[in-house]
Structure 1
Amino acid sequence: MQPATASLRPLPPQTASGSHPRGLYLLFATEMWERFSYYGMRAVLVLFLTKAMMMDKAFASKFYGGYTSLVYLTPLIGGFISDRYWGNRRSITVGGLLMAVGQFTLFAAANIYGTPASHWLLYAGLGMMIVGNGFFKPNISSMVGSLYSAGDTRKDAAYTIFYMGINLGSFIGNTITSLIGDTGHPGDFRWAFLACGIAMVLGTAVFNWGKGKYLHTPEGVQLGLTPAHSGGVKGIFALLPVLFALVLGILWLDSAMFPTIAPLLGIALVAIGFMIFSDKSLTGADVQGIMVIFIVSFFVVFFWAAFEQAPASLTFFADEQMDRTIFGYELPASIFQNLNAIFVVAGAPLVALVWTALGKRGTEPASPVKMAMGLALLAAGYLVMCFGVHNLVPGVKVSMFFLVALYFLHSAGELCLSPIGMSLVNKLAPVKFASLLMAVWFLANAAANYLAGYMSSLYPDPKSTKPAPVLLGFHITSLYDFFMVFVVSAAVAAGLLFLISGRLAKMMDARNYPPAVG
């Protein structure tokens, strides 16, 4: 690791006019392999839990929600440690290695599935991936914006390109793990986890190969180095086993004993709000920008709670209720999650061109408006599914057209919301809180994923003899009822965000945010 003083020796700045910095493509490649690992494993996780570990759907859904929630909660810790002690580069490397070890531990669990030891290995593997992701995810995302100067209009396009790396990795990983893991034989899930571990090793190696050469500002100053006067760097390494044990305990308590993660999310929100807003060096414009981040993050919860049904209830639906046969071959249920990645990779360049063209004309919608559009498209996707399952006759399977249409609309909504949100956080966050406020974005994802697991547990299983699930007094007796819950919640959230988008745009302008149409 280069010392902090290396930042005083700038590299020659890039001279390619109008082109994106090469560091963007290094981060693109790193994130691609990491997303191969994460999404490839996630694609088969609930199937592994129900078919190999013999968990029922409701428990597996909540367990999945607890795991993915912690994946997005630990960036709060990783962002804090990076800002004050390790720097982006060290954090990404440590996080990548931990996630690789976690995947190999899941491989070991799948080799002896059904035994008591496999359950302990399952928890250990997921625990290492949770801790590793906490260091990896907020730091690589925040570095994208740091490659550009303040006010650079290419940032939205840059985050959209970066988002292509996420979805390209998701596509490759999902395809491979579905074909070699979701075969109908529980023992084959191990090959999916092995492939994901190898991908994570490759991603970490690529990052370390190019970080010194390509990760610098437009002026040539190195990015992501260990902060100056960062005492306690080695002490943080000593705390890793404690953090791992804490994560394991929380995951076990939440899945086996009583809800633990939900109160932690509330505590984290209050704590991070206090840490930021109690800083007296913040200007009034800084405070308004931070408030925008918190407000849009609230609406993001509604989006991801519905969107993240893909690896849970929508996979149950594809496995049991959908006709998956094409040209005489029955596709694996998990491979349909690939539709999202296909649509995003195909649509991201078009969306980036649209935003850039509108920006040049001065008619680009404000970020909150774009995000409200994303929520509206999400509601439309579930509305299509409601048409597909309305008055569904028992024993009759639904055409795959409806799920394809849902993923198309959800992917369009994702392009309007997720990369725009990451770019918004980078633009509005004061420099000293850059990684920590990016972690706020992931805190919203943590809450959403936990809620997604709970919502998936309400999936109406026709084979179950238990009473129909109930949500706020509403009895979910059919798939139509289940999908309509998401239509209503997403549509209401979209409407509210549209209504307040003008006020949010004014608050962003106070932070010298590039003007946009409200």
Structure 2
Amino acid sequence: MQPAAAQREHSVPDSTSHPKGLYLLFATEMWERFSYYGMRAVLVLFLTKAMLMDKAFASKFYGGYTSLIYLTPLIGGFIADRYWGNRRSILTGGALMALGQFTLFAAASNYGAEATHPLSHQLLYLGLGLMILGNGFFKPNISSMVGSLYSATDKRKDAAYTIFYMGINLGSFFGNTVTSLVGDTGRSEDFRWAFLACGIAMVLGTVFFQWGKTRYLHTPEGEQVGETPVNSGGIKGVFALLPVLLAVMIGILWLDSAKFATIAPLLGVAVVVIAFMIFSDKSLSGADIQGILVIFIVSFFVVFFWAAFEQAPASLTFFADEQMDRHLFGYELPASLFQNLNGFFVVAGAPVMALIWTALGRRGAEPPSPVKMAMGLALLALGYLVMCFGVHNVQPGVKVSMFFLVALYFFHSIGELCLSPIGLSLVNKLAPAKFSSLLMAVWFLANAAANYLAGYMSSLYPDPKSTKPAPVLLGYHIENLYDFFLVFVVSAAVAAVLLFAISGKLAKMMDARNHAPAAA
């Protein structure tokens, strides 16, 4: 017999209120994003100012790390679908990431004159390896659980993912603020306090999820969601496999940064393997396949968005640190703090965007998800166009007004709201139930490719102090900041036009999937 509360909720599945489980996931994700984005805000500065890496190497190292962060959800999603379920995966991932942050705290605390001692490097790789593995279990599972709280036809899903996305950016805002103020102080030894704060935040998020998971995470009918799959075997075997997976992640990161490109081929193999695993399933209907194809196509365009967007903690932070006037009321703001503008604009804009999509939906005028995402790419291009005006003909050493970077983050944040939460909702609505976590991991695979590309693009940042020849991209010489930012204007604008051109076809494929029976 269903609990009375669940019966009442089931009787009005499309009410304007959202289930309490959404706010539990909101809070859990907020603390996790505090941890991840807080650390990310100062990571490149830590690598260049404390570990004394040059900008090009630090950019590629950062790109390799963040790429693996988004690649491991393929493993975590598969294990959750087959063996662990969402809940166990989230708790394990949270514990691993907390341990990773505390390991980075140890790496940054191992000072002589500077953090270049071999032990610091070893702890750096270990800490990042724990973060990579933990995120693989955490990220795809908490995202897919949001949709599980609603019925298949519930029109509140886009609004729910936008609210959930506000939690991501609220965590980013607080995390970035704290770590910038306590870590980016101009003293290399203070970076450790940023990592310590992030570790504490991750512990809080994990404990909070453990406390509320049974109380609030259920379907409108009252059934618990995210539990261990029925007849699941190999749970203990997966725990035993964790040290092996950790060693593999650390090894890949080291090889890619110190020896030869390793991650890019892995990304290609991952695409082929995941596509084979899904499309070889004979139980999928034609409508299911069309929906899955939409996910793959849209994910391809997402690469162009995030490759440009993820310049924030890399090349845009170099720009803020070296060539932007950061003085405000007589105080020089930390360069890493400007990344916080994204979180601020998203938190402020998310409720407005949720209301806009809901209002348009009631009138039958809401644009299809691919059109929303094309709008996001166009806004991304507009942000970099503003930067091009700001740096045009500016000589090295001349400080640029912070207005241009603020405007860039504003346009990028609104573009993000048009693309990322909508994409998360799209994956949830189109994915067959048996592949829900795995296809959410496909979405993050696009992020993996984008972050790897972002690291490479950041390594092309024109350093006025460098004596090396100007960077070259496909025959295009990047002589100055104007040339550098123009690359992102063109790539994002072209992607926006192409996605808009095929959005009608994609919308029809989505409609066919949404009106077909779900696969078993």
TM-score when normalising by structure 1: 0.97
User: Secondary structure, in 3 states, of the residue corresponding to 1:511?
Assistant: helix
Q: Runs ≥4 in structure 1, deviation > 2 angstroms?
A: 8-12, 14-18
Does residue 125 of structure 1 match 2:127?
yes
Q: How does 1:357-368 map to 2 (within 5 A)?
A: 357-368=359-370
Q: How does 1:100-499 map to 2 (within 5 A)?
A: 100-112=98-110, 113-499=115-501
- What is the identity, as a one-letter code, of the residue corresponding to 2:453? L
How far off is 1:394 after superposition?
Answer: 2.9
Q: Do 2:429 and 2:514's aligned partners in 1 also have CA atoms closer than 8 Å?
A: no
The match for 1:29 among 27, 30, 44 is 27
User: Secondary structure, in 3 states, of the residue corresponding to 2:6?
Assistant: coil
Structure 1 Cα separation of the partners of residues 134 and 396 of structure 2: 44
User: Secondary structure, in 3 states, of the residue corresponding to 1:368?
Assistant: helix
Q: Do 2:157 and 2:425's aligned partners in 1 also have CA atoms closer than 8 Å?
A: yes
Does residue 96 of structure 1 match 2:94?
yes
Structure 2 Cα separation of the partners of residues 66 and 485 of structure 1: 21
Does residue 83 of structure 1 match 2:76?
no
Unaligned runs of 5+ residues in structure 1 are: 1-7
* Structure 2 counterpart of 1:53: 51
How far off is 1:114 after superposition?
Answer: 2.0
* Structure 2 counterpart of 1:4: none
Structure 1 Cα separation of the partners of residues 4 and 149 of structure 2: 13
Unaligned runs of 5+ residues in structure 2 are: 10-14
* Structure 1 counterpart of 2:39: 41
How far off is 1:12 after superposition?
Answer: 4.0
* Structure 1 counterpart of 2:12: none
How far off is 1:513 after superposition?
Answer: 5.8
- What is the identity, as a one-letter code, of the residue corresponding to 2:56? A
User: Secondary structure, in 3 states, of the residue corresponding to 2:514?
Assistant: coil
* Structure 1 counterpart of 2:60: 62
Deviations 1:460-484 (A, max 9, x none): 0000011100000001000000000
Q: Do 2:2 and 2:221's aligned partners in 1 also have CA atoms closer than 8 Å?
A: no
Structure 2 Cα separation of the partners of residues 122 and 284 of structure 1: 47
Q: Do 2:325 and 2:400's aligned partners in 1 also have CA atoms closer than 8 Å?
A: yes
Structure 1 Cα separation of the partners of residues 136 and 400 of structure 2: 39
Deviations 1:255-296 (A, max 9, x none): 000000000000000000000000000000000000000000
User: Secondary structure, in 3 states, of the residue corresponding to 2:145?
Assistant: helix
Deviations 1:56-88 (A, max 9, x none): 000000000000000000000000000010000
Over the residues paired in the alignment, what is the CA RMSD in angstroms? Answer: 1.1
User: Secondary structure, in 3 states, of the residue corresponding to 1:152?
Assistant: coil
How far off is 1:396 after superposition?
Answer: 1.2
- What is the identity, as a one-letter code, of the residue corresponding to 2:120? S
Call closer, same or farther: CA 1:267–1:9 in 2, change over 3 Å.
Answer: farther
The match for 1:72 among 70, 73, 80 is 70
Structure 2 Cα separation of the partners of residues 314 and 512 of structure 1: 40
* Structure 2 counterpart of 1:15: 8
Q: Do 2:310 and 2:454's aligned partners in 1 also have CA atoms closer than 8 Å?
A: yes
Structure 2 Cα separation of the partners of residues 503 and 432 of structure 1: 25
Q: Do 2:32 and 2:171's aligned partners in 1 also have CA atoms closer than 8 Å?
A: yes
Q: Do 2:105 and 2:192's aligned partners in 1 also have CA atoms closer than 8 Å?
A: yes
Structure 1 Cα separation of the partners of residues 192 and 293 of structure 2: 44
Deviates most, 9-18 or 472-481? 9-18
Structure 2 Cα separation of the partners of residues 45 and 11 of structure 1: 49
Would you say how many aligned residue pairs link Structure 1 and Structure 2? 507
How far off is 1:9 after superposition?
Answer: 7.4
Structure 2 Cα separation of the partners of residues 439 and 278 of structure 1: 18
- Sequence identity percentage: 83
How far off is 1:151 after superposition?
Answer: 1.2
TM-score when normalising by structure 2: 0.96
- What is the identity, as a one-letter code, of the residue corresponding to 2:455? G
Q: Do 2:460 and 2:472's aligned partners in 1 also have CA atoms closer than 8 Å?
A: yes
How far off is 1:393 after superposition?
Answer: 2.4
Structure 2 Cα separation of the partners of residues 103 and 206 of structure 1: 18
Structure 2 Cα separation of the partners of residues 277 and 331 of structure 1: 51
Structure 2 Cα separation of the partners of residues 341 and 232 of structure 1: 40
* Structure 2 counterpart of 1:3: none
Call closer, same or farther: CA 1:471–1:14 in 2, change over 3 Å.
Answer: farther
Structure 2 Cα separation of the partners of residues 377 and 287 of structure 1: 31
Deviations 1:325-351 (A, max 9, x none): 011000000000000000000000000
